[in-house]
Amino acid sequence: MRTVFHEQLHSLTVTLSRMCGLAGLVMERATDALLHGDLQLAEQVIADYEELAQMRSDAEEAAFVLLALQAPVAGDLRIVVGCMQNVADAERMGGLARHVAEIVRRRHPDRTLPTQVNGVFAEMGRIAVDLGNSAKEVVLSRDPEQAAQIGRDDAEIDRLHQHLFTLLKDDGWGHGVGTAVDVALLGRFYERFADHAVEIGRRVIFQATGEPFDA
C-alpha cells in the first residue's frame, strides 16, 4: 500500500511541476503578445489557461483521493496538503497571464503599451518566466535552498513594479489615464504572478523541513 501511495504522490508532484512550467510558458506568450500587439498569440494564451484549469481540477481530485484512502501523516501529509495549495497557485499564475492577454485583446488593433514602458515589461516577463521554471524544478527537487532563491529573485520584480509607478506619477507621462490604468494593472499582474511562485517555494521549504519560511 505504501508503494502505491508514493507512486500516486509522485504522480501528483509531477503534475504540479508541469503546471508551474506551463504557467511560465503561458506568461512568456502573454508577454510576447503584449510587447508586439499580437492578437493571435493573446487568444492562444486564453485557450492555454483552460488546460491549466483542468489540470488543477484533476490534481485536486487526485489529492483528495490520497487523503481519503491513504490517510497520510507527518511529512507525507505536509506534501499532499502543500501540493493541493500549490496547484491552486500554479493555476492562478496562468490566470494572471490570461489577464495580460485579455488586455491585449481588448486594446487590439492598438498597442497596449507605450514605448516608454516596453523595456520594463520585457524584463518583468523574463523574470516571471524564470520564476515559473524555478517553481517547476523545486517542486520535484524539494531543495530548500533552491526554493528560497525564488523569494530572493522576486525582489527584482518588486523593484520593477515600483519603477512603473514612478513613471506613471512623473509629470512627463503623456499617454493618458486609460493607458496609465492598463499599465498599472499589467504591472500588478506580473507582481502577483511572482508572489504565487514565492508561495510555492515557501511551501516546498515547509514540506522539506517542517519549518515555516519567511523571506
Nearest Cα residue to 16 out of 106, 145, 105, 135: 135
Residue 155 CA to residue 161 CA, distance in Å, equals 10
Mention every residue, 6+ apart, whose C-beta is less than 8 A from residue 42: 30, 33, 101, 102, 104, 105, 108
pLDDT-derived band at 8, boundaries 50, 70, 90: confident
Say yes or no to pLDDT of 28 above 90.
Answer: yes
pTM for the predicted model, two decimal places:
0.92
pLDDT for position 1: 55
Residue 29 CA to residue 68 CA, distance in Å, equals 38
Which is it for the CA torsion 175, 181, 187, 193, positive or negative? Answer: negative
pLDDT for position 209: 84
pLDDT for position 213: 61
pLDDT greater at residue 71 or residue 123 = 123
What percentage of the chain exceeds 90 in pLDDT?
Answer: 78
pLDDT for position 210: 79
pLDDT for position 84: 92
Residue 14 in grid coordinates: 509531477
Domains in the chain, CATH or no CATH each: 2-209 (1.20.58.220)
